[in-house]
Amino acid sequence: MVNRIHSLGGYIHEYQKSVANPEAFWAQQAENFYWKKRWDKTLEWNFQGPEIKWFLNGKLNLTENIFEKNLYTHGDQEAIIWEPNDTNEETRTLTYAELYAEVNKFANTLKRLGVEKGDRVAIYMPMVPELAISLLACARIGAVHSVIFAGFSANALAERINDSSCKVLLTADGGFRGEKITPLKEIADEALESCASIETVVVLKRTGSDVNMHVGRDIWWHKAVDGQSGDCPATEMDSEDELFILYTSGSTGKPKGIVHTTGGYMVYSAYTFKNVFQYSAGDVYFCTADIGWITGHSYIVYGPLLNGAKTLMFEGIPTWPDAGRFWDIVDKYQVNQFYTAPTAIRSLLAKGNDYLDGKHLASLKVLGTVGEPINEEAWHWYHDHVGKNKCPIVDTWWQTETGGVMISPIAGVTPTKPSFATMPLPGIQPIIVDGEGKELTGNSVEGNLCIKYPWPGIARTLWGDHERFKETYFSTFDNFYFTGDGAKRDEDGYYRILGRVDDVINVSGHRLGTAEIENAINEHPLVNESAVVAYPHDIKGQGIYAFVVCGELSTGGEEGIRKSIKQGVTKIIGPIARPDLVQLVPGLPKTRSGKIMRRILRKVAEGDATNLGDTTTLLDEDVVEKIIQGAQVEVKV
Ligand code: WT7
């Protein structure tokens, strides 16, 4: 079992140990797992290549560390507790023994479909137990899973499938989300018109919606699984064999396929889960994320299951049937650890405290937040009204690229401070650097957040593009991993994350590249060019503000164009990228060399044009005047 820290003194001791000798520290953690063959070198790395390898030549299968290692002790214990969207539908639970059998059956199914070690399997599914089963079945046979969030459009799905040439697609007839049904199979069919690599589509029956089944390509899940054995030998994997790909947005270009490998990710997700949440045997743990994001990978599936935990999966949304849904679930299953995003907290706070009336929430021991900075008001509401002043809040800072939590309180151990992610976990060496990459030592400093030493969960590459991996994370500042976030370290040495310093925006905890949204907008036939920036949004944290230059207006007039631009982005990327505000402008503020001065647009979007900074390089001052006049928000001048 994974080691657990119990006291502040214990944390300080572990931390010092981990920094003095990271390799010994992580080797000690890795000893807690079952390896078919032990590794012979703990770490090999350089941040120039970059090349990072952990537990070299170790052989293992991650799923053996979930199942075989633990079945004797807790085969009958619940592994997955599933709460459906509709409160009238029956819940499902799978014990470790049952989950094991399902994973093996599906692993055998994949094998029968010709999936081999190293093949990529795309997964586009709703939040049902079969989604978790698919990930584990891939891991069982060494297939590389690539989960695509079920809110993405056909175009976005196709782009991701093609980038890593997936062989099989797992999907469902549809997905329930509150009162709506997402027609997943229909969207997948559209995507597959441009995906040559997909040989087979396995379709789970979930909503009972009518779907087209393409003869020779599509098969029903239940039919495919029928008759498969519940035994499937675990494929031997090298520590550095790929476990999964997960796409995320960057500041430029197309989405990046973040690659995580087997040994390091296993050790890191398990270690951080147990420590951050202080999970104890028997606890019920509930993370509200979707498995389509890294939070779901690491802290619904892998981290909890590697610790033999009971992990709760919820199919629905926080506001349906009403804004008390999370709290009903907490009471129903006596949830002990609850992990959600600031945007969810803010949206529930905005609905008022009536929805908390009559809810006990007495089982809660730990509250967590992730995905974006949490504002103090939301922090206090969460702490006082949900946690009843007795649950520590773990504000966990991390990224798709980091595999697991990096900077966070350890629940009940690290003294918290509202809106501070507090201190690095053992083994993590964050630093703050100035614009030139000079490390700012001591306390009370602010700058760019970097990490100066590898940890087992760090991404190893971008699928098919190692050069871009280097460029994005290791080239801005020499010898450091650059996170893209700004941070400050206060007088107590506590870290506060200030948000992205690049052209990435964070909308409701979803990470989006402004360039990606601009590309989608520019596909509109009337659009000449566009620039997208974030603006402060009460619920979403950041909203999307698009400045758009059109050649001419269509018959629908301005209102019509705005609407069709928003629809276009929804179609091309998905509803999460839909601009909140679209302003048609005569031109964009550009420098004489043609570079868009985003700083000015950000100021306008933030509603404060009192200090636009240096505008001497501006080509046309008039444009700025017009932008301010036509702004979609009130602007102070
Ligand atoms: C970006 C990573 C890690 C899972 C969810 C998002 C922001 C994440 C926090 C936090 C302030 C946070 C950062 C980061 N972020 N957690 N606790 N406080 N900001 O994963 O999509 O890879 O996004 O989310 O800006 O870089 P992601």
Give the pLDDT confidence of 327-346 residue by residue, as tens digits: 999 999 999 999 999 999 99
Q: Are the beta carbons of 523 and 517 closer than 8 angstroms? A: no
List, in sequence order, every residue forming a beta bridge with 496; answer none if it has no partner. Answer: 488
Tell me, in angstroms, the distance from the centre of ligand 1 to residue 398's CA.
5
Is the CB of 396 within 6 Å of ligand 1? yes
- Residue 298 CB less than 6 A away from ligand 1: no
Answer whether 295's CB lies under 8 Å from 289's CB.
Answer: yes
| Residue 428 in tokens | 């993590």
Find, among 555, 40, 65, 532, the residue nearest to 265 by Cα: 65
Q: Cα(302)–Cα(296) distance, rounded to whole angstroms?
A: 9
Question: Could you give the CA distance from residue 566 to residue 573 in angstroms, rounded to a whole number?
Answer: 11
- pLDDT tier at 583 (50, 70, 90 boundaries)? very high
Q: Quick count: other Cβ atoms within 10 Å of Cβ 136? A: 24
Give the three-class secondary structure for 390. coil
Q: Which tokens go with 454?
A: 């590898």
- Place 595 in a pLDDT band, splitting at 50, 70 and 90: confident
- What is residue 456's predicted lDDT score, i.e. its pLDDT? 98
pLDDT score of 406: 98
Q: What is the pLDDT of residue 252?
A: 77
C-alpha–C-alpha distance, residues 203 and 213, integer Å: 9
Q: What are the backbone dihedrals phi and psi of residue 359, each rounded to the nearest 5 degrees, phi first?
A: -95, 140
303/210 Cα distance (integer angstroms): 36
CATH number for the segment(s) 505-630 = 3.30.300.30
Mean pLDDT, residues 39-66 taken together: 98
Asked whether the beta carbons of 521 and 513 are under 8 A apart, the reply is no
Lowest mean pLDDT among 1-5, 413-417, 433-437, 535-539: 1-5
Please compute the mean of the pLDDT values over residues 412-421 and round it to a whole number: 97
Number of neighbours of residue 396 by Cβ within 10 angstroms: 24
Q: Ligand 1 centroid vs 499 CA: distance in angstroms?
A: 8
pLDDT score at 619: 84
CA–CA gap between residue 591 and residue 595 (Å, rounded): 5
For residues 303-314, one letter each, b for 16 or more C-beta atoms within 10 angstroms of the residue's C-beta and e for the rest, the string is: bbbbbbbbbbbb
Torsion of CA 312, 313, 317, 318, to 10 degrees: 10
- Give the ligand 1 atom nearest the CA of 499: 25
* Ligand 1 pocket mutation pick from 247, 419, 506 by most atoms within 8 angstroms of CB: 506
Tokens 């957040």 sit on residue: 449
| pLDDT one-digit tens code per residue, 248-306 | 998 777 899 999 999 999 999 999 999 999 999 999 999 999 999 999 999 999 999 99
pLDDT at 613 (0 to 100): 84
pLDDT at 81 over 80: yes
Q: Would you give the distance in Å from CA 577 to the centre of its chain?
A: 15
Q: Is 502 in the pocket of ligand 1 (CB under 6 A)?
A: no
Asked if 554 and 560 touch (Cβ cutoff 8 Å), the reply is: yes
Amino acid at 85: N
Q: For the chain, first and last CA: distance in Å?
A: 60
**Contact by Cβ (8 Å): 111, 124:** no
Residue nearest to atom 27 of ligand 1 (CA): 399
CA distances 499 to 484, 486, 508, Å, are: 8, 6, 13
pLDDT digits (tens, 9 = 90+) for 183-203: 999 999 999 999 999 999 999
Residue in 92, 170, 96 with CA at minimum distance from that of residue 138: 170
For residue 310, the surrounding DSSP H or E stretch is strand 310-314
Averaged over 87-115, what is the pLDDT? 98
Cβ atoms of 573 and 152 within 8 Å: the answer is yes
For ligand 1, say whether the CB of 485 is within 6 Å of any of its atoms.
Answer: yes
DSSP 445: E
**Cα–chain-centroid distance for residue 632?**
30
Segments making up each domain of the chain, as ranges: 94-242, 505-630
What's the gap between Cα 416 and its chain centre?
24
Q: What is the pTM of this model?
A: 0.96
Which amino acid makes up residue 590? K
| 94-242 against 505-630: fold identical | no
CATH number of 94-242: 3.40.50.980
Q: Average pLDDT in the 548-565 region?
A: 87
* Residue to mutate (ligand 1; options 497, 512, 542; most atoms within 8 A of CB): 497
Euclidean distance between CA atoms 559 and 4, whole angstroms: 57
pLDDT-wise least confident of 68-77, 157-166, 354-363:
68-77
Residue carrying structure tokens 């209102």: 559
pLDDT of 554 over the 80 cut: no
**Which amino acid does the sequence have at 523?**
E
**Any atom of ligand 1 within 6 Å of the Cβ of 488:** no
**Residue 400, helix vs strand vs coil:** helix
Q: What pLDDT score does 73 carry?
A: 83
Tell me if 532 sits within 8 A of 517, measured CB to CB.
yes
At how many degrees (to 10) do helices 129-141 and 96-112 cross?
60
**CA angle 492–498–500, rounded 5-degree value:** 145
256 lines ligand 1 (CB under 6 A): no
**Cα of 282 vs its chain's centroid, Å:** 26
| Two tokens, residue 68 | 């075989």
Q: Is the CB of 145 under 6 A from ligand 1?
A: no
User: What is the chain's mean pLDDT, rounded?
Assistant: 96
Q: Are strands 393-396 and 366-370 parallel, antiparallel or unpaired?
A: parallel
Which of 69-78, 162-171, 470-479, 503-512 is the least confident region? Answer: 69-78
